[in-house]
Copies of this chain bind each other. A is one copy, B any other.
Amino acid sequence: MEKLHFASDYMEGAHPDVLKALCDTNPLSTPGYGGDAFCVEAADLIRDACRCQGAAVYFLTGGTQTNETVISALLKPWEGVIAADSGHISVHEAGAIEHGGHKVLTIPQADGKLSADAVKRYVERFSSDDNHEHMVFPGAVYISQPTEFGTLYSLSELEELSRVCRRSGIRLYCDGARLAFALGCPGCDVSLADMARLCDVFYIGGTKCGALLGEAVVIPDPSVLPHFFTLIKQHGALLAKGRILGVQFRALFENGLYEKIGRNAVLCADRLRNAFEHAGYKLMYSSPTNQLFVSLTDKEYEFLSERIEMSFWDREDGHVIVRLAAGWATDDRAVDAAADIILSSGNGDTP
């Protein structure tokens, strides 16, 4: 029996519509470096979706690259970026932000999120410190929507965070590697237009959301990132054939595909969550999106991971925490099969 693939949401190629667009446009000759009509049209569609006609839109190839290029462009030399201690830039980017010369200023997460209050306290404490001129200034806040734990900022949480940042003169940047899975989640009340209204920069993830690769950086007020094109080049993030990103994002935004593409994954994840709950397992974090996190005993882990591909996430209190992820390509039969296995392993007790 082939394994059931729930290890991550980047296991397949591109959504068929996206692949078709790449094939259809393949023979055309276009100028390089994003100066082609596809990139222009994709940017227009994104501006429309974000209801932000003044935004600048750039296409990069991956999440870490986008994070380090944007953050180093946002920060002044004396500044660092505030992030949850579980933030992707804090842990899993091999020190890319620090390689660019900036400190990641971590605050303990709560359900994978940074609260406006925690940021406010951090900034106030910093400002009132007699020695703050010997310290790294908080210049930006990094969040992700959904977070690394699959959780979501509500609109009111995001509004509050944005308010705190603006009052303090701090930039708010949102990593949207899996943004489609927020937009496709019934419980999510934050739209793309809200993101554009509340963030100084954010990116719309393509790699995990239907594209072969690619992330679209949206800068509602372009003056926030002057000469960003040159910085993209300097960070090795500029594709000669920029059009392959434009073509893909045009396909993702042409008929509202991006805002729908996450729906299936969230529904599949819901079904897996239900199966785990029915079988008596403990779900970790309150993730309503395409990722779910389960606490397993070693024996349960052995049994389940032999049958269902999942990722080891952490070890806590003698249990293994695993992550399962559904994607736009996840198929119903795989979910059925996985649910059966989970339920059969019953009561948190392997047969």
Contact = CB atoms under 8 A, between A and B. Distances in A.
A297 interface: no
Q: Which of A22, A64, A72, A135 has the most CB of B within 10 A?
A: A64
B230 A137 contact: yes
A102 to B, nearest CB: 6
A292 B26 CA distance: 25
B80 A99 contact: no
Nearest to A2: B29
Interface in A215-233: 226-227, 229-231, 233
A255 interface: no
Given A23-B19, A72-B77, A101-B99, A237 B10 contact: no
A225 to B, nearest CB: 10
A63 B240 contact: yes
B234 A77 contact: yes
A131 interface: yes
A277 to B, nearest CB: 26
A50 interface: no
B63 A73 contact: no
A7 B103 CA distance: 29
Interface stretch (A164-172, A184-192, A205-213, A340-348): A205-213
Given A29-B12, A77-B72, A135-B94, A213 B241 contact: yes
A137 B212 CA distance: 30
B96 A234 contact: yes
Contacts of A80: 95, 98
Interface residues of A, number: 79
Contacts of A130: 311-312
Nearest to A73: B77
Interface string A75-106: 01110100000000001111111111111100
B23 A7 contact: no
B78 A94 contact: yes
Interface in A228-254: 229-231, 233-241, 243-244
Contacts of A207: 239-241
A31 B11 CA distance: 6
A317 interface: no
A119 B136 CA distance: 25
Contact of A233 (B7, B133, B241, B244): B133
A64 B11 contact: no
A92 B30 CA distance: 21
A200 interface: no
Nearest to A16: B26
A5 interface: yes
A137 B230 CA distance: 9
A62 to B, nearest CB: 6
A234 B227 CA distance: 23
A80 B329 CA distance: 38
A69 B78 CA distance: 12
Which 4 A-B pairs have CB atoms at the shortest separation, nearest pair first? A65-B236, A13-B26, A94-B234, A95-B136
11 contacts: A12-B28, A13-B25, A77-B99, A78-B231, A80-B95, A94-B133, A94-B233, A134-B230, A135-B230, A208-B240, A212-B244
